Amino acid sequence: MSFLSLLFSGHPQKSDHITILDKASFKAAISSKNITLIDVRTPREYLSGHIKNAVNIDYFDTSNFIKAINGYDKEQPIYIYCRSGNRSQKAARKLDSIGFKNIFDLKGGYMNWN
């Protein structure tokens, strides 16, 4: 990625372990049977609507988030989303920092999903 695109986008679209997917790519990827799909929104947001088969792990509940997320295999792909994409970007960076290797983030979040 060029310096200018990084400068103007505010964040890269892909790091070594994080890939941001558009809606179509994300939808195709999660149609697999053995995937981990995490909704990092609050329980209230999750209850108002979520992607089928998503597990809710609230990113803002820091101690529980780390504890719950550490229960997943760090080598397996993990798909995450939030409301708009901002929180899931932070969650993706957190997952990367604790050793997850294949992180996929829904661009635009749940707002983009509907």
> Do residues 101 and 74 make contact, with C-beta atoms less than 8 angstroms apart?
yes
d(C-alpha 113, C-alpha 25), whole Å: 11
Write out the two tokens for 51.
């992607």
Q: Which of 30, 38, 51, 82 is catalytic?
A: 82
Assess whether 111 carries a catalytic annotation.
no
d(C-alpha 96, C-alpha 74), whole Å: 9
Catalytic center residues: 82
